[in-house]
Amino acid sequence: MDEKKELILVPCHSIWKSSIQPSDGRVNFGQSPEYWHLAAFQYEGNDHLAFIKHGLAALKLLLKKRHRATVIFSGSQTKKEAGVLSEAQSYYFLCERLIRNAMRNDNLEIPNFDDELHTLLQEIKEMMVGQNIDVDDLFCGDSITTEEFSLDSLDNLLYSIYRFEEVTGKFPQRITIIGFAFKMERFISYHAKAIDYPKACINYIGIDPKPTNYSQTQLSKYYNDLAEMERKNALSLFLSDWYATKDALFTKKRSRNPFKRTAPYAQNILFKSGTRIEDDERYFEMNIKCKMPWSAPRE
């Protein structure tokens, strides 16, 4: 069997309400916003449909390199009203439900799903049939798993690397992140740098939200606003707080941890909770650079 070398990472952004049963008798496939625990800003762009695309795109990529990669859905128990169900678990179970339905039915049409989603489902089904893979084969074992302690995007990357090592026995040699396109710079230029993961070994597949019935002018404004909010609420903060240990980012992380979860990866210096890092660059040079298990060899 081929060795697992690639982490396919899906950063999660919400929790699917799997227990809701539509009154019209249809199946809950996450197709409506009321089937998710959404924040106010996640409605305009139909973010819930983008979440599903992220998950399905990861499965499609996995089927192209199944024995060489592992998909990890990453996200903690961030919503008190959702109980102990994690973001990662909800993505996992929703994708499993979608694929199981696709394999059982010829008609893959789901209300509110756009052409991209229907195409992804059709392509996944064709690949599974062609490779003689059933749903249990795909979702069991070390091909798809969850990481359930992440509270922000830095955690998504770092914790998933350690989770990959837990599952496969080795750290990933390559990482493909499938998430919002407007967050690519955050992951590649900020987080990967902060943990010394080689930039050349990371690929990013961006799938953005998509508002319904917007004119081109409205779409341009929407995406420009997204970029500005990313700069204001994330990039500018991580620029001066690489490890999210200072007030703004640390407070945001605490607000996402109603069940007081603590990551189990205590062997690494980056997981010393409560440690405020005042000088990120000095900390990086002294503790991280060329010292991580995945750091590139010294030249």
**The pLDDT of residue 273 is above 60:** no
pLDDT 10s digits, 75-126: 999 999 999 999 999 999 999 999 999 999 988 899 999 999 999 999 999 9
Model confidence, pTM: 0.96
* Among the listed residues 13, 12, 10, the one whose alpha carbon sits nearest the alpha carbon of residue 69: 10
282-287 average pLDDT score: 92
- Over the range 194-223, which residues count as b (16 or more CB within 10 Å of their CB) and which as e? bbbbeeeebebeebbbbeeeeeeeeeeebb
Q: Assign residue 132 a region: left if phi > 0, alpha if psi is -120 to 50, beta otherwise?
A: left
Residues 12-52 have pLDDT tens digits of 999 999 999 988 888 999 999 999 999 999 999 999 999 99
Average of pLDDT values for 255-259?
Answer: 97
pLDDT at 209: 98
Residue 140: band (very low, low, confident or very high) from pLDDT cuts 50, 70, 90: confident
Residues 17, 88, 136, 264, CA torsion sign: negative
| Calpha distance 93→76 (Å, rounded) | 15
Percent of the chain at pLDDT exceeding 90: 88
All residues at 6 or more sequence positions from 131 whose CB lies less than 8 Å from its CB, including other chains: 63, 66
Q: Is the pLDDT of residue 1 over 60?
A: no
User: Average pLDDT in the 284-292 region?
Assistant: 93
Burial of 266 (0-12, 13-18, 19+ CB in 10 A): exposed
CA distance 137 to 124: 14
pLDDT tier for residue 265 given thresholds of 50, 70 and 90: confident
Structure-model confidence comparison of residues 11 and 141, the more confident one: 11
To the nearest whole number, what is the mean pLDDT of the chain?
95
Residue 270 has pLDDT above 70, yes or no: no
Residue 5's nearest CA partner among 164, 233, 183 is: 164
Checking if the pLDDT of 269 tops 70, the result is no
Q: Are 167 and 266 in contact (CB under 8 A)?
A: no
Domain spans of the chain?
A: 6-288
